[in-house]
Amino acid sequence: MVLREEEHYKFPIPSISPMIQPGVVTTIYNPVLPVKRDPGNVLTSTLDTHLPTNDTLPTPFKEGHSWSDKLGILIPTDLIPYVTEEPVYVSKRQEKLKGKQHEPGSKGWLDFFYARKNHQESVDAFKLYEDGVSSRAKLWGTSANSIEYREGMVKDLSAFQDYYHQKISVLTDRQLHLHDKIKRGKSVYKTNQQLIKLEKELAQFKIDYFSVMDDNESHYHYKGHTSDDTKKLELRPNKRTVPSSTGTSRSHDHIKKIRSDSLIKED
């Protein structure tokens, strides 16, 4: 067998590789070529300097507090919805001058946002109260201004009715008991005397409304209610009576007044 050189052919002859024996595992190593750093390559330097590390600090923790990334402090959790990044000045004057501020997290800084929180909660509570009053007013078919008056009056009238029924039931139950004794013929004369006395008590039975109810309640100061003391004053027993005119002449009712300018002319 004659091996010919490349000059005998019109194409290059590949080199002869050693035969790989069957059953033998061989490993081919690909050498890693070193990467040349380009000092002007910004991307390469950025990637090198921002590789993830395990040196990050843990977030501070305190019971009932939350960490604010923007302010870099722990804030009470209930204040989180009300805290902003706006500066908190130590006084109104400093606010006008854009001067001294409270340090975030200091007592004065926290007091400012607690005051804001309390104000907002009171506004929300009042709004909730107004919505409840409006709903009850619609249910009663009245206005929000008079609903508490009507509810108070109904409550007191119901309480007075229950109290009145409780007291008079004692008398009516005894009346039924005495009638039953007379029907059965037991101590008829004595029972009759007791019944006559009891019926007099029933005829005179009366309970004053304000002996049970307190007229100092707010719904009794609403329009239309007048206390007994005020009614006595309105009677005015010593009021001077003015005779009314029944004829055509009204000389005693209307006295013509002389104008001051006419007096000056006469002088």
Task: Give residue-wise pLDDT tens across range 204-225.
Answer: 999 998 888 887 887 777 665 5
Contact call for residues 117 and 79 (beta carbons, < 8 A): yes
Q: Which pLDDT value is given to residue 6?
A: 57
DSSP 66: E
> Which two tokens mark 214?
């307190």
176-214 b/e with 16+ CB inside 10 Å = b?
eebeebeeeeeeeeebeebbeebeeeeeeeeeeeeeebe
Residue by residue, pLDDT tens for the chain (267 residues) are 555 565 665 656 666 555 545 554 444 445 555 545 554 444 444 444 444 444 566 778 788 888 888 888 889 999 999 999 899 999 999 989 989 999 999 999 999 999 999 999 999 999 999 999 999 999 989 888 888 888 988 999 999 999 999 999 999 999 999 999 888 888 888 988 999 999 999 999 999 988 888 878 877 776 655 556 666 665 666 666 666 555 555 544 444 555 555 544 554
SS3 label, residue 206: coil
H or E stretch covering 214: none
- Kindly state the tokens that stand for 199: 């019926």
Contacts for 210 with CB less than 8 Å, ≥ 6 apart: 228
C-alpha to C-alpha distances, 13 to 17, 18, 19, 256, nearest whole angstrom: 12, 15, 17, 148
Say what the pTM is.
Answer: 0.47
**Backbone dihedral angles phi then psi of residue 63, each to the nearest 5 degrees:** -60, 130
Q: Cβ(181)–Cβ(189) under 8 Å? A: no
Contact 101, 94 (CB under 8 A): yes
The token pair that represents 171 in the structure block: 């008398």
The residues spanned by each domain of the chain are: 65-135, 147-223
